[in-house]
Amino acid sequence: MRIKEIPSLQEQSLWNNFRAGDEIAFTQLSTRYYKMFRHYGEKFTTNSQIIEDAIQDLLVNLWVKRTSLTEVDSVKFYLLKSFRNQLFKTLRAFSAVPFEDDFQENFSEASSEMFFIENESQQEQQSKISYFLKQLPDRQREILYLRFYQDLRVEEIAQLLQIKPQSVSNIIQRALLNLRQHWELLVPFILLWLL
C-alpha cells in the first residue's frame, strides 16, 4: 500500500460529498487546493489578478457543474488539470503570454519565523535553485514542477500536457542533465571567487 492512498480516500469522500451539493466539502476542497492553484499559476504569470480570476472562475464552474461531474481517480490531478485549462483561458482573455520572461520560482515555503541563519541558508539555496531552473526551457521547468513539487506521476503529467509518458520521462532526464551541466559550469567560478 502506498502512503498516499489514505489522504486520497479522504479526498474522494470530500469530492463525492461536494458533488452531492455539500457546501462544507466544497469549501474544504477549495481551501485545501487554493495554495496549489496560486503556486502553479505563478509558473505561468506574475500577474496575481489573472491567477485569482482563474481560481475564482474554476471554483464557480465546479460548483455550477457539480451534479454533472463524475468520480475521479485523483482529485488533485483533476483539479490541477482543470485549473491549468482555466488559467490558459484567462490568460488568453487578458492577452497575456504564459511563461513571462520574469518567470518567478518560489518552490520553498520557508516560514519567516525560523531562525535567521537557517532562513539565510534556505534563501541562498532557493536562489541557486531558482537561477538554475531559469536556465531550463519552459517545458522542462513545468514538468519538473509537476513531478517534484506537485508529486504527479509521469502518466498524469503526460495526460495533463497531452503528450506521451515516454516524452515526459525524456524531458525529465534532459532537465536533470541540464541542471547538472549548469551546476558544473558554475562550480569553477564559485571556487575562483572563494580563493
Confidence tier at 190 by pLDDT (50, 70, 90): very low
DSSP string across 124-174: HHHHHHHHHHHTS-HHHHHHHIIIIIS---HHHHHHHHTS-HHHHHHHHHH
**Residue 55 class from Cβ within 10 Å (0-12 exposed, 13-18 middle, 19+ buried)?**
buried
Q: What is the pLDDT of residue 185?
A: 58
Q: What is the pTM of this model?
A: 0.57
Checking if the pLDDT of 72 tops 70, the result is yes
Q: What is the pLDDT of residue 129?
A: 67
3-state secondary structure of 77: helix
Task: Average the pLDDT over 61-90 and give the result.
Answer: 89
Q: What is the pLDDT of residue 144?
A: 84
Q: Which domains does the chain have, with CATH numbers?
A: 5-93 (1.10.1740.10), 116-194 (1.10.10.10)
pLDDT tens figures, 108-156: 333 344 444 454 555 665 666 677 777 788 888 888 888 878 888 889 8
Checking if the pLDDT of 64 tops 60, the result is yes
